[in-house]
């Protein structure tokens, strides 16, 4: 055994959880991603999906993807920079820019690669990247790839953010990077306050709209639109794997920023283009979102039903205001056990344990879709409440 193999063989945490019979990952789904899925031939209610608008099996989106494959084939066989730009890529970028209120947009092959490729491209060695401690992992990777000075502020804490800004040199770029909706906690960035601080200290703002597009704002246009601060935010990014029922991501900003990224962002330049099917799916999803506002209205009805239900049951759910509802367990083993008990009851949820979060912050991530029914949410609340009492969580 060489040194590499010897080192890696010591990583045995997954094996320990598997041995306990509580391993909750890579559960194989045998059906479409709907409010009910089939796993090992068993039907379970899905409350672990990011498909907030419930569009992953919408017939119009499937038809659009099939039509794109028939016209363009299954792939682009190259990057956007060289041979991989299709007319539908450009059409989607124009539609996205208009959707979020910016001059131009760029489509990337994944949402992760947007943050990984954009964050380090915007600032230089003498500049500052200032980030929320609970920003998404893709932002964390992006800032690690930067040569800029890095400053972390406490989660959604404006006093902590201002202290960071006060330490920065006045004549250097200061880029504040935040999630619009935080993906595990479900709370919303304090954008109006962040904008006020950015103006006070001449800073710029970058907002990750991954979990707010399709959820907040006019017809789902996102958190910047929700707070009416679009013009005050310099860069907006979003993903296609949540509300838009596909895969990929985008960044939107003014022409100067997009021009720079188009020619310098390595994950954009050196990644194969988004597939025709994925691109066409997003185009169709945006049309459905804009033409069916009742989807978002129902999503919020189910969200309020669940939020009230969990509070009444006595669960600790933090400061969430969105369809992402954390049920704090604060114990790794109990989190795994709770997940298994719920799965045995026919409820699919996602466990979030250390090292993804501190061991005293472990949680169950419960998320809603616009296609969930009142009956399904009430069934979930009943079974989650029963299991929570059995484990002594509530």
Which member of 102, 143, 149, 211 is catalytic? 211
- Rounding to the nearest 10 degrees, give the CA dihedral for residues 255, 237, 189, 147: -80
Which member of 242, 246, 265, 273 is catalytic? 242
Q: What is the C-alpha to C-alpha distance for residues 131 and 16, in angstroms, rounded to an integer? A: 34
Which member of 183, 198, 212, 265 is catalytic? 183
Among candidate residues 370, 254, 290, 251, the one with its CA nearest the CA of residue 322: 370
Task: Output the furthest CA–CA distance in the chain (Å, rounded).
Answer: 61
**Residues in the chain, overall count:** 394
Count CA atoms within 13 Å of residue 170 on its CB side: 1
Catalytic annotation present for 204 = no
203, 176 contact by CB (below 8 A): yes
Matching residue, tokens 């800029």: 148
Catalytic annotation present for 255 = no
53, 214 contact by CB (below 8 A): yes
Catalytic annotation present for 242 = yes
The alpha carbons of the chain give a radius of gyration, in whole angstroms, of 21
Mind telling me the catalytic residues? 183, 211, 242
């Amino acid at each position: 055994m060489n040194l590499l193999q010897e080192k890696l063989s010591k990583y045995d945490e997954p094996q320990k959880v598997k041995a306990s019979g509580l391993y909750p990952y890579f559960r194989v789904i045998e059906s479409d991603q709907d409010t009910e899925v089939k796993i090992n031939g068993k039907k379970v209610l899905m409350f672990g999906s990011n498909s907030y608008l419930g569009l992953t099996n919408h017939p119009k989106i499937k038809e659009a993807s099939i039509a794109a494959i028939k016209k363009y084939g299954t792939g682009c066989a190259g990057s956007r920079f060289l041979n991989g730009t299709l007319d539908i890529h450009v059409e989607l970028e124009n539609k996205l820019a208009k959707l979020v209120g910016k001059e131009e947009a760029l489509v990337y092959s994944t949402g992760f690669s947007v943050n990984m490729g954009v964050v380090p491209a915007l600032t230089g060695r003498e500049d500052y990247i200032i980030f929320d401690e609970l920003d998404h992992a893709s932002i964390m990777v992006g800032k690690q790839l930067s040569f800029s000075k890095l400053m972390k502020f406490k989660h959604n804490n404006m006093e902590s953010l201002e202290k960071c800004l006060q330490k920065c040199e006045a004549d250097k770029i200061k880029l504040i990077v935040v999630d619009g909706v935080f993906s595990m906690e479900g709370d919303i960035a304090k954008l109006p306050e962040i904008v006020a601080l950015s103006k006070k200290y001449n800073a710029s703002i970058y907002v990750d709209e991954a979990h707010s597009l399709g959820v907040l704002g006019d017809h789902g246009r996102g958190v910047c639109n929700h707070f009416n601060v679009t013009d005050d935010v310099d860069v907006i990014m979003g993903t296609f794997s949540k509300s838009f029922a596909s895969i990929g991501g985008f960044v939107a900003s003014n022409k100067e920023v997009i021009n720079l990224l188009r020619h310098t962002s390595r994950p954009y330049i050196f990644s194969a283009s988004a597939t025709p099917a994925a691109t066409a799916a997003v185009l169709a999803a945006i049309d459905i979102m804009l033409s069916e506002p009742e989807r978002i209205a129902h999503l919020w009805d189910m969200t309020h039903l669940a939020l009230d239900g969990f509070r009444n049951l006595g669960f600790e759910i933090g400061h969430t205001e969105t369809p992402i509802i954390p049920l704090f367990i604060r114990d790794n083993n109990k989190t795994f056990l709770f997940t298994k008990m719920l799965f045995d009851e026919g409820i699919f949820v996602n466990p979030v344990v250390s090292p993804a979060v501190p061991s005293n912050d472990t949680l169950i991530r419960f998320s809603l879709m616009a296609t969930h029914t009142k009956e399904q949410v009430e069934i979930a609340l009943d079974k989650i409440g029963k299991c929570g009492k059995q484990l002594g969580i509530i």
